[in-house]
């Protein structure tokens, strides 16, 4: 291996991250601290509106709508809340509608990771009103949206790329979730599985720092975790793990049903001959009626989650909770009101596990409620790693991790096979944007230019005329007819330029007789590729210079032509990847007769 090639090999690294990550990390620390303050403000607002709406007192003390004494008049509370949210969305910002995560995804994918300042203000207020007036939602969706808006706004004060703004937007979202739930690791995993659309240190490091800082700051303002402490369960044996698998399958089916239910009601609301501003009123009416049937469905329901985890809810009571919560939540969410999905999924998953526990001879209701929570969250959001670690951080019950792993993976598998999209990405798809959540290494990064270049490129002598070369094309010379560019060489075979189809057209417009030489007509200012560099670098060079072909030359002597890289070579690299995905082969021939 020559010295130039050795130097190039030393230049190549596992990651493309550079020192710029230090700047982003410093910004992420600030955003992480801000995310905790935003989480505290959201919790304060939820408590304030809950006390005002259900107890007619001005207080920010923790309160649950379940204990109100308003009787039938309580039905009107979420109706009024829905009216206020509809007005805020209509005359403030439509982006406050829904549970927040699809809006964050949209900002990342098509909005250059830019969010408006009014979203950062209106989203937490509207969500606090929604939850405070009985909405059966969680605070995580709103805090992800609000934290993301804070990160995005902070980033817009600086000269950053769209990718860097995305990193800080996601850092704010992760910080908010870490602070709300005392779950910084799960917040980072949610960013990786759902929001970043990449796995790169340049984004992972700042996001992880923001979540860690938010988790640390949270201790001083919201208290330390876990927020749902329970007595640790015994290690799960083989029989218990098999049951966890069955619960995972059941949770996957339930996740699919919940997703379809939400969008069934959304489609019903779309058919109403009313402006969408009025839809949350009907969602609020459903909440109010559901609250009369079972007051436990109102509000965030953290106390209900804790009761399920302690095994205090079982039998018919928990089945009623599951059914009423699912209906009220899906109707309200379909109406376009503001609120999150995570806490409701925990309640419904816990209710499913607790209900099934009466037929399970192992463990207690709390164990299967815990596994059901994680499985339904993993299946519905299609973020299994996030869901299992999230439940661990909520409870600190490490012994159940193997059961969580089985249940979450199977629930995820069931929903992937049943539905094309998740509850989060379906809304984005309905707005005309396709998401792909499968991440793999770009084949252009793994392939070297030498592997796909034409190693015997057709060349043209520098002294040849444009007329001569045009005649070859006109007569269908297969060596030049299909090429967009042809390398020009001197009498010694050294590369001196390149001639493209556009160069020929311009030359004939200037000199119809075609007496110009190809060197005079072509370009001597060459953009080249090297055989030992990744194909990705060559493609980036093509895009920057708006060209579709590159001569491939030696690093030691850039006049030494070694090959030609055109679109055919790029397609070959992509085709290799497709072939590896689709072509099935035997590992060995057991018959001895060949293929």
| pLDDT tens digit sequence for 251-299 | 999 999 999 999 999 899 999 998 989 999 999 999 999 999 988 888 8
Residue matched to tokens 């083989």: 238
Class of domain 20-221: mainly alpha
Average pLDDT, the chain: 86
Q: Are 342 and 361 in contact (CB under 8 A)?
A: no
Burial class (CB in 10 A: 0-12, 13-18, 19+), 582: exposed
Q: Are 240 and 403 in contact (CB under 8 A)?
A: yes
Domains 20-221 and 238-430 are alike in CATH topology: yes
Q: E-strand spans in 85-125?
A: none
> Which parts of the chain register pLDDT below 50?
594-595
Give CATH for domain 443-580.
3.10.580.10
Burial class (CB in 10 A: 0-12, 13-18, 19+), 498: buried
Q: Are 134 and 112 in contact (CB under 8 A)?
A: no
Query: Cα separation of 131 and 60, whole Å?
Result: 14
Report yes or no on whether pTM surpasses 0.85.
Answer: no
Which residue, among 261, 270, 197, 582, has the nearest Cα to 419 in the 3D structure? 261
Q: Name every residue whose Cβ is closer than 8 Å to that of residue 440 and which is 6 or more positions away in sequence.
A: none
Measure the N-to-C terminal CA separation of the chain; round to a whole number of Å.
38
Q: In degrees rounded to 5, what are phi and psi of residue 521? A: -80, -30
Query: Cα separation of 243 and 346, whole Å?
Result: 19
Give the pairing of strands 495-500 and 550-553. unpaired
The residue ranges of every structural domain in the chain are 20-221, 238-430, 443-580
Query: Cα separation of 555 and 7, whole Å?
Result: 10
pLDDT confidence of residue 26: 94
**Which homologous superfamily is 238-430 in?**
Clc chloride channel (1.10.3080.10)
pLDDT confidence of residue 595: 46
Side-chain half-sphere exposure of 146, counting CA atoms within 13 A: 31
């Amino acid at each position: 291996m020559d010295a130039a090639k050795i130097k190039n090999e030393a230049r190549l690294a596992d990651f493309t991250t550079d020192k710029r990550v230090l700047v982003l990390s410093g910004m992420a620390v600030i955003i992480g601290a801000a995310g905790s303050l935003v989480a505290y403000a959201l919790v304060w607002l939820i408590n304030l509106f809950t006390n005002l709406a259900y107890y007619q007192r001005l207080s920010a003390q923790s309160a649950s709508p379940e204990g109100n004494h308003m009787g039938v008049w309580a039905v009107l509370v979420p109706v009024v809340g829905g009216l206020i949210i509809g007005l805020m969305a209509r005359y403030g910002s439509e982006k406050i509608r829904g549970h927040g995560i699809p809006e964050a995804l949209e900002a990342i994918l098509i909005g250059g990771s830019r969010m408006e300042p009014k979203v950062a203000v209106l989203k937490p207020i509207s969500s606090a009103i929604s939850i405070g007036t009985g909405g059966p939602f969680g605070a995580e969706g709103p805090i992800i949206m609000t934290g993301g808006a804070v990160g995005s706004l902070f980033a817009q004060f600086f000269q950053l790329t769209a990718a860097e703004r995305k990193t800080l937007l996601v850092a704010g979202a992760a910080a908010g979730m870490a602070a709300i739930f005392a779950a910084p690791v799960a917040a980072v995993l949610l960013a990786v599985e759902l929001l970043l659309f990449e796995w790169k240190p340049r984004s992972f490091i700042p996001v992880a720092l923001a979540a860690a800082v938010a988790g640390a700051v949270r201790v001083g303002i919201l208290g330390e975790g876990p927020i749902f402490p329970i007595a640790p369960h015994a290690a799960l044996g083989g029989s218990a793990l098999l049951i966890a698998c069955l619960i995972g399958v059941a949770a996957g089916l339930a996740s699919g049903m919940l997703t379809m239910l939400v969008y069934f009601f959304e489609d019903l609301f779309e058919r109403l001959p009313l402006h969408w501003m009025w839809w949350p009123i009907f969602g609020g009416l459903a909440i109010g009626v559901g609250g009369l049937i079972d007051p436990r469905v109102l509000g965030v329901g953290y106390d209900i989650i804790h009761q399920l985890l302690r095994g205090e809810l079982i039998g018919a009571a928990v089945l009623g909770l599951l059914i009423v919560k699912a209906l009220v939540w899906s109707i309200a969410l379909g109406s376009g009101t503001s609120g999150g999905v995570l806490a409701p999924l925990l309640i419904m998953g816990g209710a499913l596990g607790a209900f099934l526990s009466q037929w399970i001879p192992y463990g207690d209701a709390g164990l299967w409620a815990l596994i059901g929570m994680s499985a339904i969250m993993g299946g519905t959001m299609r973020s299994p790693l996030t869901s299992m670690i999230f439940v661990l951080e909520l409870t600190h019950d490490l012994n159940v991790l193997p059961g969580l792993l089985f249940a979450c993976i199977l629930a995820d598998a069931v929903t992937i096979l049943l539905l094309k999209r998740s509850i989060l990405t379906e809304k984005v798809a309905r707005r005309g944007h396709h998401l792909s959540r499968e991440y793999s290494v770009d084949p252009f990064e793994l392939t070297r230019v030498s592997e796909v270049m034409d190693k015997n490129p057709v060349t043209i002598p520098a002294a040849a005329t444009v007329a001569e070369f045009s005649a070859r094309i006109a007569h269908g010379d297969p060596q030049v007819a299909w090429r967009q560019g042809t390398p020009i060489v001197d009498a010694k075979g050294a590369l001196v330029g390149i001639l493209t189809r556009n160069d020929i057209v311009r030359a004939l417009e200037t000199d119809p007789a075609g007496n110009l030489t190809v060197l005079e007509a072509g370009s001597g200012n060459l953009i080249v590729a090297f055989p030992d560099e990744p194909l990705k670098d060559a493609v980036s060079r093509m895009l920057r210079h708006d060209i579709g072909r590159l001569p491939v030359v030696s690093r030691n002597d850039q006049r030494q032509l070694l090959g030609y890289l055109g679109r055919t070579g790029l397609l070959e690299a992509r085709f290799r990847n497709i072939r590896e995905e689709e072509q099935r082969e035997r590992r060995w021939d057991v018959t001895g007769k060949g293929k």
